[in-house]
Homo-oligomer: A and B are copies of this chain.
């Protein structure tokens, strides 16, 4: 799809090949850069006004979320920093039970980035925004001198209406609730590691970066209050997110290692790198905590979506070991799953 899109959105002819400090001046060069590409590619009725801010009509409860993306390198198997930045913020909104609608887009470009690379990222942003059904409504472009940034950083901030059926609240979680994982763990982190300097290894593993709003919004609409909590385990992975939750709710969580979905190649790569897949970042995966009597139907519904085809129950909430996550291993032992203590994989998103 990326290739087709790049072909159907060829880079406009420009009188520069690389981005310079002048493109961040707010003056003529900034206009040239934006008029040439960004505004046309991302065009919509709101962005087209080109004021300093966007005007939106909202009514009711709205969710707002922000994320900066500093992933290194900016291109990686299955994606790049552009679609990652859209999907990341779209997914955070979806996890709030909201319908992602409007996104702001702010670039910090290191002087010397080629226009071709910037264009590829822009096209991916366009594709990802279309896929998720969100509009980029306002933006900002800054350029920093060589050696004071790293090619490209992107901030996306998103807003959208909370679905009327949504009641995502960790205080509603009770003993006996089921913990559902929407798919296989650790793909994004391993895809990035596979091309990191000094670590490269042969693999076909691609990032799982994808928008989760269509599935997550569908679940909330269909199952309403039976969905108690959702979260996408990005930095820190499934282990950190659940450990945080146990600590916050003072409830216990039981996980079964044998139930955790993971691709064989990804598992092999984790072993080779000495990484625990529970702490490896994901960008297209989410955890749902649901009433036990609905969990089977929720899992079946998820499996009907490509992004949820490997969905499964991985554990449950318990009154034992309050504030802790305990994982029963495949060979019968048990261990505490705590928060990621330091930095396992820097700049993974």
Contact = CB atoms under 8 A, between A and B. Distances in A.
Contacts of A149: 70, 148-150
B148 A150 contact: yes
A159 B279 contact: no
B62 A58 contact: yes
A38 interface: no
In this complex, the member of A53, A61, A140, A159 whose beta carbon has the largest number of chain B beta carbons within 10 angstroms is: A53
Contacts of A312: none
A52 B96 contact: yes
Secondary structure at the A interface, as helix, strand, loop or mixed, is mixed
B106 A108 contact: no
A144 B155 contact: no
Interface string A2-30: 00000000000000000011101111111
Closest 6 CB pairs of A and B: A26-B235, A27-B340, A53-B65, A157-B157, A26-B236, A66-B104
Interface of A: 20-22, 24-31, 51-70, 72, 92-93, 95-96, 98, 102, 104-108, 137-140, 142-145, 147-150, 153, 155, 157, 159, 162, 168, 231-232, 234-236, 240, 244, 279, 281, 338-344, 346-347
